Amino acid sequence: MAKTNPVQFVQEVRSEASKVTWPTRRETIVTTVMVFIMVVVAAVFFFVADQVLSFGVSYVLGLGG
Summarised one tens digit per residue, pLDDT across range 33-43 is: 999 999 999 99
The model's pTM: 0.64
Domain positions in the chain: 24-65
4 Cβ partners below 8 Å, 6+ apart?
Answer: 12
Amino acid at 25: R
Using one digit for the tens of pLDDT, what is the confidence trace for 28-65? 999 999 999 999 999 999 999 999 999 999 888 887 55
Residue 53 exposure: Cα atoms within 13 Å on the Cβ side: 6
Q: Give, in order, the Cα–Cα distances in Å from 3 to each of 7, 8, 17, 36.
A: 12, 10, 21, 45
